[in-house]
Amino acid sequence: MNIFRLAGDLFHLISIFILIHKMTTSKSCSGISFKSQALYLLVYVTRYLDLFWTFALYNSTMKIIFIGSSAYVLHLMTGPFKPTHDPNIDTFKVRYLIGGAAILALLFPYKWTPAEVLWTFSIWLESVAILPQLFMVQRTGAAETITTHYIFALGAYRALYIPNWIYRYLTSTFWDPLSIIAGVIQTVLYSDFFYIYYTKVLQGRKFELP
Amino acid sequence: VTPVPGHDEL
C-alpha cells in the first residue's frame, strides 16, 4: 500500500458516494448513463471472483463495497428512479466495448484459466466503461455539476493508480503490464473531460462543452 | 523484471 493507491481507492469510494447521494437527494438519475453503470457492475463481478478463494481485509472489504454499491445503483436506476432515466440519450453501442474487451482477454491473458481471462476482460472493460457516460454528456452538451464531480472522482481513481504503479515498480519491481496499459488508456479517455472540468467547473462555471 | 500478476489491487 502506498499513498497514491490509497488516494486512488478513496477517490473511487468518493465517486460512488457522490453518485448515490446525487440520485437519492434529487430522486433522479437524469444525466447518468445506465449503460456505464451496468458495465461497471460487470467489471466488478468478473474481476472480484477471487473473493471466493482469497481474503485480505482491505481488498475484500472494498471489493464487496464496489459490487454492492454498483448493484444498488442499478437497482435505483431500474426501480424507484426508472422514470427519470431517458434511454434515448444513452445510445452508445456497448456491444463493441464488451466484444473488444472479450477478444483482448481471450488473446492475451496472463494464463488461460477462466478466472484469469475474466480478470483480463474486466481490466480492459473498465478502461472504456466510462465511454457511454462521456458520450451522453457530449450529446446533451452540458452536465449537472454534481455529475461532473462524479465523473472526475472516478477518473482520478485510475489516474492515481499510475503513480502507484511507478512507485511499486521502483520500490519492489512490481510490474503488471496489462493493468498499466489499460489504466493509461483509461486516463487518456478522461483527459478531455479533466481539461474542461478544470477550466470550467473548478472556476465556478457550468459544465458546458465548447 | 518478470510480470507479477498478483492481482493485489482493486
State whether residue A9 sits within 8 Å of chain B by CB: yes
State whether residue A5 sits within 8 Å of chain B by CB: yes
Report residue A84 CA to chain centroid gap: 22
Is the confidence at residue B4, as pLDDT, over 80? no
Q: What is the ipTM of this complex?
A: 0.84
In the block, which residue shows the cell 464496489? A66
Show Cβ contacts of residue A207 under 8 Å, excluding neighbours closer than 6 positions. Answer: A137, A142, A143, A144, A145, A147, A148, A196, A197, A200, A201
State whether residue A103 sits within 8 Å of chain B by CB: no
User: Chain B, 1-10: which have a CB under 8 Å from a chain A CB?
Assistant: 1-10
Write out the E strands in chain A.
142-143, 207-208
pLDDT tens profile A147-162: 999 999 999 999 999 9
CB contact under 8 A, A175 and B1: yes
| Grid cell digits, residue A145 | 455539476
A193 touches A155 (CB < 8 A): yes
Is the confidence at residue A173, as pLDDT, over 90? no
**In this prediction, what percent of chain A has a pLDDT beyond 70?**
100
Is the confidence at residue B2, as pLDDT, over 60? no
Show Cβ contacts of residue A92 under 8 Å, excluding neighbours closer than 6 positions. Answer: A33, A35, A131, A132, A135, A136
Output the pLDDT for position A167: 97
A85 touches A34 (CB < 8 A): yes
